[in-house]
Amino acid sequence: MSDRVCFPCTLCCAFFGVPELAKPAGMPCPHRVEAGCGIHSDRPQSCRNFECFWLMDDSFPEDLRPDLCGVVVSFNEDHDSVVIHVDPDRPDALSGEAGTQWIEALMTTFDPVFVVCGDDRMMIRRSPLDPSGQA
Ligand code: SF4
Ligand code: SF4
């Protein structure tokens, strides 16, 4: 459980489609303002439904907040795998310290982990030599 709020992050708003607004995935939302959502208290249900890992779990450090680190981590639509969405404007976001923190944290529980950046897709697996024997 977490008491976190999104503000001022809106990174996922451009990544995902919002049917109620007829906003396609990959397009900026017209309600996004300089810091946050301009209609936060009246935002559509699909916006309310989406929670990234950083928002859901306050054990992830503050510097992994998506707008700060450039990646949004979430379950896929079926909630059976984990996806790291990399900001296409910051395609190197996963190669820095924050990316390393995310991958190390996620790989302790999930295998594989999927990575999406614009039209690019990648899958990360644990090393077959993982000494934990969880490969
Ligand atoms: S990426 Fe996470 S913290 Fe940022 S707006 Fe979306 S749900 Fe909120
Ligand atoms: S309505 Fe608000 S929360 Fe929903 S996508 Fe637009 S800016 Fe983000």
For 38, the 3-state DSSP assignment is: coil
The whole-angstrom separation of Cα 9 and Cα 20 is 21
Torsion region of 98: left, alpha or beta (phi above 0 gives left; psi -120 to 50 gives alpha): alpha
Residue 83 Cα to ligand 2 middle (Å): 20
CA gap 82, 106 in Å, rounded:
8
Contact 134, 111 (CB under 8 A): yes
Question: Which residue's C-alpha comes closest to atom 5 of ligand 2?
Answer: 13
Domain positions in the chain = 11-124
Ligand closest to CA 11: 1
Residue whose tokens read 């859901």: 56
Regions in the chain scoring below 50 on pLDDT: 133, 135
How is residue 68 written in tokens?
A: 């700060």
How much is the pTM?
0.90
Output phi, psi for 18, to 5 deg: -125, 100
Q: What is the predicted pLDDT for the residue at 10?
A: 95
Name the burial class of residue 77, with classes exposed (0-12), middle (13-18) and buried (19+) by CB atoms within 10 angstroms of its CB.
exposed
Supply the pLDDT for residue 96: 92
9: how many CB neighbours lie within 10 A of its CB? 20
Select from 9, 40, 47 the residue to mutate for testing ligand 2; criterion: most ligand atoms less than 8 Å from CB: 47
Apex 49 CA angle, 17 and 116, nearest 5 = 45
